[in-house]
Amino acid sequence: MLPIVDILKLLPWRLIGVASLVLAVFVSGYRCGEQRVTTRWDAEKARQAQVVAKQAAQVAAVTTHQSTIDQEISNEFETEKAKIVADRHLLLARVPRRVRHHATTNSGPVPEVPVVTAGTDAAPADAVSAAGQQDAAATCNQLAEDAAQTTLMVVEFQRWYREQVGAFGKTAD
């Protein structure tokens, strides 16, 4: 006979059958577990993608809303600034040219009203020419205009901030 048949007779077939059965159960369990883990993994990736898409949509909505608010505030600021520049003479008529402060109490050694001197100086120590007075008026006018523009900027910034906080609060809920 053939030597292969003799070798096959000598092999422990029961042991080989049990080992094959154990190997088949192990491989099928491995494949089943792999499929289960892959299914869970894919479900988690899909859920994460949905969360990211939702957050991206929310960020886009907030950004769009804030850009709209920025543009509205900027347009209103420019409109108010143009109105202030146009009404400059009206504004300057309302602003006092000089500020005087009358102390209610005398808290120091310097008297509120100076003592009258016997005469006047021959020439003032700090004489101001008429041109200097006009420059002072122009400086006062520019100061009044700058103060009005700064006030407008602060008011508009406060309004912008309130609207930004309101926009963020609405979409964060």
pLDDT tens digits, residue range 141-173? 788 888 888 888 888 889 888 888 887 776 444
Distance CA(152)–CA(150), nearest Å, equals 5
The model's pLDDT over 63-118, given as tens digits with 9 standing for 90+, comes to 999 899 889 988 988 888 888 777 776 656 666 555 555 555 555 565 555 556 66
Distance CA(14)–CA(51), nearest Å, equals 55
- Longest Cα–Cα distance in the chain: 155
Which residue ranges make up each domain of the chain? Answer: 14-95+134-172
Alpha-carbon separation of residue 9 from 3, 17, 20, 77 (angstroms): 10, 14, 18, 101
Q: What are the backbone angles phi and psi of residue 151, rounded to the nearest 5°?
A: -60, -45
Of the candidates 52, 131, 147, 48, the residue with the CA atom closest to the CA atom of residue 91 = 147
**Higher model confidence: residue 51 or residue 137?**
51
Two tokens, residue 150: 């700064």
CB-side exposure of 25: number of CA atoms within 13 Å? 6
Eight-state DSSP code of residue 95: S
Q: With contact defined as beta carbons under 8 Å apart, do 145 and 91 qualify? A: yes
Confidence of residue 1 (pLDDT cuts 50, 70, 90): low
Based on its alpha-carbon atoms, the radius of gyration of the chain, rounded to whole angstroms, reads 45
Kindly report which listed range (22-31, 49-58, 115-124, 134-143) carries the lowest average pLDDT score: 115-124
Provide the sign of the torsion angle of the four alpha carbons 17, 18, 23, 28, taken in this order: positive
pTM of the model: 0.41
Q: With contact defined as beta carbons under 8 Å apart, do 118 and 46 qualify? A: no
